[in-house]
Amino acid sequence: MSLEIKNLRISFRRANTLFEAVHGVSFSLGDGRALGIVGESGCGKTLSAMSVMRLLPSTAVITEGEIVYNGLDILSLSEKEMRMIRGNKIALIPQDPLTSLNPLYTIGDQLMEVILLHQEVTKKEAKEIALESLNMVKIPDASKRFDDYPYQFSGGMCQRVIIAMALASEPDLIIADEPTTALDVTVQAQIMELFSEIRQKRKTSLILITHDLGLISENVDDVAVMYAGAVVEYASVKELFLNPSHPYTKGLLGSLPRGGKERLKIIEGQPPQVGEIISGCRFHPRCEFVMDKCNKKYPERYFLSDNHSVNCFLYE
């Protein structure tokens, strides 16, 4: 599996005007690798990842860039061709499992529907695959719970069902959008351990979208830090935590609780709104290291090592 996104730009259409929300995002993902996309709410994490499946809001339009999956140009495929990829080769685990399951149908029926849609199997074979998927995600008494409804499952169990749906077609890539939101810490750890087991067994690649740096530190290989629609730093997870380089990344890591009585550091100010015009580096209004050139020109991508780059004039 290979995925490469180059200079992706996404805008929202309001009346007759386009407001750019994603500004030249680039990243790549190899077979069996895990990429974490981290940043504040509204920074474009989900929008960038959903573009891989072409699941964008009706008012959003991709104005520039390339998305290449296994040699296929995603942006040039027909809707029929995309339906063969969505849920089959690339699976999505959405943020809220309870709103992703239909309360009027049993868990088993919903799992079988996904399998019958993407695989040429009989209903009997689909049920066997569904049960196998439920067992893989460690649903207790899967055969007995097969005919239960979503309301009979806890939030953590519903999330496992969503993961089972994603795994049923043995996808190459899973996009997990805040998969542990609203789950308690113990269940979070179980869900992330499940992802780790899946990656080891099936060599499935993973894009993990989150604002939780703790999840990032333990569950991915590489990290893309996003701010206001742009990737400001890209590095291996070890390099990012040992040597954070962009002022925004330093601010994020500095705001983590460390124990003791020292005050948490904060990043002054607020991120820009979608469509707000900011010249130069989009972080410069909040940056403690701001220079004259920062508000005039957007910094290029500077490489600190083979797998560590940063968009900041401090490294020019």
In a domain, 184, yes or no: no
Express each pLDDT in 37-53 by its tens digit.
Answer: 999 888 999 999 999 99
Q: Angle, to 10 degrees, between the axis of helix 123-136 and the axis of helix 155-167?
A: 130
In a domain, 294, yes or no: yes
Q: What is the pLDDT of residue 85?
A: 92
Instruction: List the beta bridge partners of residue 20.
Output: 11
For residues 208 and 266, what is the distance between their CA atoms, to the nearest angstrom?
A: 25
The CATH code of the domain that includes 255 is 3.40.50.300
DSSP string covering 80-135, please? Answer: HHHHHHBTTTEEEE-S-HHHHS-TTS-HHHHHHHHHHHHS---HHHHHHHHHHHHH
Q: What is the pLDDT of residue 129?
A: 93
Quote the number of domains for the chain: 1
Q: What is the pLDDT of residue 63?
A: 95
In a domain, 271, yes or no: yes
- In order along the chain (316 residues), what is the average pLDDT of each group of 10 residues? 95 89 93 93 92 94 96 94 90 83 94 91 94 91 94 90 89 91 82 88 92 90 96 96 95 81 80 84 94 94 94 94
Q: Contact 301/309 with Cβ under 8 angstroms?
A: yes
Q: Contact 160/138 with Cβ under 8 angstroms?
A: yes
In a domain, 7, yes or no: yes
Residue 94, token pair as written in the block: 């959405």
- 19 Cβ contact list (under 8 Å, min separation 6): 11, 12, 274, 275
In a domain, 262, yes or no: yes
In a domain, 47, yes or no: yes
In a domain, 173, yes or no: no
Q: Contact 161/101 with Cβ under 8 angstroms?
A: yes
Q: Which domain holds residue 261?
A: 3-78+223-308
The residue written with tokens 């993407």 in the block is 118
In a domain, 140, yes or no: no
Q: What is the pLDDT of residue 260?
A: 66
